[in-house]
Structure 1
Amino acid sequence: MGRPKGGAAASSSSKKPKAKPKQRGGVDFKKYKHKVGRKLPPPKNATNTEIKSKSIVLPEQSMASERTGMAVNKRGLTLRELLQQTGHYNANVRRAALNGIKDLVVKHPSELKLHKVAIVEKLQERICDNDKVVRESLFSILQSFVFPSLKEDNAISTRSTLFLLMANILNGMTHLSMDIQLMSFRFLELVVINFPSSFPRYAEQVFNNFLAVLSNDRIHLQDKSKLNSVLNGLGHCLSQVAFATENGDASNRLVHNVSGRELWKCTLDEDNSGSRAFAMSNILTKLQNLIQILVNSVEVSASELFAKSTIDAQSSEALLSALHCLDLICKICIQEVKKPQMKFGRSETQFGPEWLKSSLLVYLKKLWGVNRSFHEKGDDRYYVFNLKIAEIFLCLSACMDDSMFPAEEFCQFVSSLLSKVKALRNKDIMEKHLSPLIISIPDLVSNAPDDSKGYLLEAFTDAFRDCKVDCKLILPYLDSVGKLLLPEKTGILFTENDSGLEYHGVWVDELPGILLQSIDKAPSVTKVVLELLLRIGQYFPTIECGNMHSFVKLFGVKSSSGTVELGPFVNLPRDCQELAISCLYYFSNLLPDTMEPLASCCLSDVLEPTILFRVVEVLQSTYKAGNLHITEQLSFLSLLMARFRVHPGPFCTQEDSQTSSNLITFKSLNHLILTSLSDMGDGSLVLELMWDNLSKEIVRVQNRAQIPSLHNMNGLFRIIVTLDAGTCKLMNEDVIKIIAGYLIDAAMDLSKTIELGFQSDKTRVFQYFIKPCIIIFCQNEKVLCCTLEMLKSFATGDDNVLSSVAKLKCPDLSHRICLVTTIIVFLCNDCKLHKNLSLGKSAIKAILQHTRHLMDSNVPDVTYEDKQKLRFAFEQLKSKALQLNCWDKSELENFSSATKCDV
Structure 2
Amino acid sequence: MVGPKKSSKKSQKPQKRGVDFKKYKHKIGRKLPPAKNATNTEIKSKAIILPEQSVASERTGLAVSDRGMTLKELLQQTSHRNARVRRDALNAIMDLASKHPLELKLHKLAIIEKLRERISDEDKSVRETLYQLLKTVIFPGCKEDIPGPIISLIMAYIFNAMTHLMFDIRLMAFNFFELVVQHYPSSFLLYADKVLQNYVDILRKKHSYIQDKGKLRSALSGLVRCLSLFPSVERKASPSYEENTDKRGTLHAFETEVPREHTDENIVNKLEDLMPVLVNCFEEFTQSPSVLAKPQIRGQRPSVSAKSQDGSHSFRCMLYVLQSIDLAIKYFIYWSNKCQGESEDMVSCMNEASDMTVWGETKLLSLLTKLLEVFPLSSDRSRTEKNDEECYELNVAIAKIFLNFNEWIDTTISMEKVLEFLNDALHGKICCNTESGKAFREKHLVSLLPFIPKLVFREKSSPNCDILQAFTEAFNACKPESSLKLACVSAIEEMLLPSNRYDTHILDTNEKIRHFQIEWMHKLPPLLVQLGDRHPSSSKIVMHLLLRVGQHVPMGSPIALEFDSLQDSFIEFYCTLQDECNDQGGICYGPFIMLPRDCQELAICSLYYFSRWNSLLLSSLTYCCFYHSLDPYLIFRIIEVLQSSYKAGHIKIGDQISFLITLLARFGAYPEKNGYVTENNEMTSKHRTLQDITRAICSCLCEMGDIALILQIVQKIILSEMSLNPPLDNMCAMLRALASLDSRPTLLSEESIIKLGNSVLGYMVDSAYYIPENMHESTACDQMRLCKYYLVPCFILFDNSDQLLILVLNLMGSLIAENRRTFLSCHGDTYSFNLSKRVNAIASILLFMHKDEKMQRSLSCCKAEIRHVLQDIVKASENSDLNLEEKHRIRIRFVELTTIMGRMHGWNADELKIT
Same fold (TM over 0.5): yes
Select 1:359's aligned residue among 363, 367, 380: 363
Q: Confirm or deny that 1:670 pairs with 2:694.
A: yes
Q: State the alpha-carbon separation in 2 of the partners of residues 360 and 226 from structure 1.
A: 28
Q: State the alpha-carbon separation in 2 of the partners of residues 449 and 883 from structure 1.
A: 88
Contact map agreement 1:647 1:661 (CA 8 A) in 2: no
Amino acid corresponding to residue 372 of structure 1 in structure 2: P
Q: Confirm or deny that 1:299 pairs with 2:283.
A: yes
Cα pair distance change 1:841/1:72, threshold 3 Å: same
- Identity among equivalent pairs (%): 34
Select 2:495's aligned residue among 474, 477, 484: 484
CA deviation after TM superposition for structure 1 residue 638, in Å: 1.0
Q: Confirm or deny that 1:126 pairs with 2:118.
A: yes
Give the aligned partner of residue 333 of structure 1: 332
Give the aligned partner of residue 165 of structure 2: 176
Q: Map 1:876-887 onto structure 2 (within 5 A).
A: 876-877=897-898, 880=901
Amino acid corresponding to residue 414 of structure 1 in structure 2: L
Q: State the alpha-carbon separation in 1 of the partners of residues 226 and 349 from structure 2.
A: 33
Give the aligned partner of residue 380 of structure 1: 389
Q: State the alpha-carbon separation in 2 of the partners of residues 833 and 769 from structure 1.
A: 15
Cα pair distance change 1:531/1:674, threshold 3 Å: same
Give the aligned partner of residue 397 of structure 1: 406
Give the aligned partner of residue 111 of structure 1: 103
Q: Confirm or deny that 1:82 pairs with 2:57.
A: no
Contact map agreement 1:648 1:661 (CA 8 A) in 2: no
Select 2:65's aligned residue among 65, 73, 98: 73
Q: State the alpha-carbon separation in 1 of the partners of residues 252 and 400 from structure 2.
A: 39
Give the aligned partner of residue 13 of structure 2: none
Select 2:533's aligned residue among 520, 533, 540: 520
Select 1:217's aligned residue among 198, 202, 206: 206
Q: State the alpha-carbon separation in 1 of the partners of residues 225 and 241 from structure 2.
A: 19
Provide Cα deviations, 1:638-690, integer angstroms capped at 9, x if missing partner. Answer: 11111222355675569969995344432332122122222333344334434
Structure 2 residue runs without a partner (length 5+): 1-40, 246-250, 295-304, 382-386, 554-558
Give the aligned partner of residue 594 of structure 2: 571
Amino acid corresponding to residue 654 of structure 2 in structure 1: T
Q: Map 1:475-514 onto structure 2 (within 5 A).
A: 475-489=486-500, 490-492=502-504, 493-514=506-527
Cα pair distance change 1:318/1:793, threshold 3 Å: same
Amino acid corresponding to residue 571 of structure 2 in structure 1: V
Contact map agreement 1:509 1:547 (CA 8 A) in 2: yes
Query: 2:464 aligns to what SS in structure 1?
Result: helix
CA deviation after TM superposition for structure 1 residue 52, in Å: 9.9
Provide Cα deviations, 1:367-388, integer angstroms capped at 9, x if missing partner. Answer: 1112134499781221111111
Q: State the alpha-carbon separation in 1 of the partners of residues 829 and 339 from structure 2.
A: 85
Q: Confirm or deny that 1:94 pairs with 2:86.
A: yes
Amino acid corresponding to residue 895 of structure 2 in structure 1: F
Cα pair distance change 1:75/1:438, threshold 3 Å: same
Give the aligned partner of residue 572 of structure 2: 553
Contact map agreement 2:120 2:157 (CA 8 A) in 1: yes
Cα pair distance change 1:752/1:291, threshold 3 Å: farther
Q: State the alpha-carbon separation in 2 of the partners of residues 641 and 172 from structure 1.
A: 78
Provide Cα deviations, 1:133-156, integer angstroms capped at 9, x if missing partner. Answer: 1111111111111111111211xx
Give the aligned partner of residue 607 of structure 1: 630
Amino acid corresponding to residue 883 of structure 2 in structure 1: V
Contact map agreement 2:203 2:277 (CA 8 A) in 1: yes
Cα pair distance change 1:830/1:471, threshold 3 Å: closer
Q: State the alpha-carbon separation in 2 of the partners of residues 843 and 872 from structure 1.
A: 17
Q: Bigger CA drift: 690-699 or 786-795? A: 690-699
Select 2:759's aligned residue among 738, 741, 744: 738
Query: 1:240 aligns to what SS in structure 2?
Result: coil
Q: Map 1:269-288 onto structure 2 (within 5 A).
A: 279-288=263-272
Query: 1:181 aligns to what SS in structure 2?
Result: helix
Q: Confirm or deny that 1:435 pairs with 2:427.
A: no
Select 2:542's aligned residue among 529, 552, 560: 529
Select 2:255's aligned residue among 252, 262, 281: 262
Q: State the alpha-carbon separation in 2 of the partners of residues 415 and 658 from structure 1.
A: 61
Cα pair distance change 1:595/1:260, threshold 3 Å: same
CA deviation after TM superposition for structure 1 residue 319, in Å: 0.6
Give the aligned partner of residue 274 of structure 2: 290
Q: State the alpha-carbon separation in 1 of the partners of residues 195 and 781 from structure 2.
A: 84
Q: State the alpha-carbon separation in 2 of the partners of residues 246 and 587 from structure 1.
A: 34
CA deviation after TM superposition for structure 1 residue 755, in Å: 11
Query: 2:292 aligns to what SS in structure 1?
Result: helix
Select 1:867's aligned residue among 888, 901, 912: 888
What RMSD, in angstroms, separates the aligned Cα atoms of the two structures?
Answer: 3.7
Provide Cα deviations, 1:725-750, integer angstroms capped at 9, x if missing partner. Answer: 44235557654322211111122211
Q: State the alpha-carbon separation in 2 of the partners of residues 763 and 420 from structure 1.
A: 73
**How many matched pairs?**
822
CA deviation after TM superposition for structure 1 residue 455, in Å: 1.0
Give the aligned partner of residue 686 of structure 1: 710
Give the aligned partner of residue 37 of structure 1: none
Q: State the alpha-carbon separation in 2 of the partners of residues 791 and 657 from structure 1.
A: 37
Amino acid corresponding to residue 532 of structure 1 in structure 2: L
Q: Map 1:413-424 onto structure 2 (within 5 A).
A: 413-420=421-428, 424=432
Contact map agreement 2:75 2:111 (CA 8 A) in 1: yes
Q: Confirm or deny that 1:153 pairs with 2:145.
A: yes
Q: State the alpha-carbon separation in 2 of the partners of residues 794 and 348 from structure 1.
A: 99
Structure 1 residue runs without a partner (length 5+): 1-50, 269-275, 899-903
CA deviation after TM superposition for structure 1 residue 88, in Å: 0.9
Q: State the alpha-carbon separation in 2 of the partners of residues 882 and 130 from structure 1.
A: 112
Amino acid corresponding to residue 487 of structure 2 in structure 1: P
Contact map agreement 1:744 1:819 (CA 8 A) in 2: yes
Amino acid corresponding to residue 355 of structure 1 in structure 2: W
Amino acid corresponding to residue 612 of structure 1 in structure 2: I
Q: Bigger CA drift: 373-382 or 608-617? A: 373-382
Q: Map 1:815-854 onto structure 2 (within 5 A).
A: 815-827=837-849, 837=859, 841-854=863-876
Give the aligned partner of residue 728 of structure 1: 749
Give the aligned partner of residue 604 of structure 2: 581
Contact map agreement 1:842 1:886 (CA 8 A) in 2: no
Q: Bigger CA drift: 813-822 or 438-447? A: 813-822
CA deviation after TM superposition for structure 1 residue 756, in Å: 9.4
Amino acid corresponding to residue 894 of structure 2 in structure 1: A
Q: Flag the structure with larger Rg.
A: 1
CA deviation after TM superposition for structure 1 residue 179, in Å: 1.0
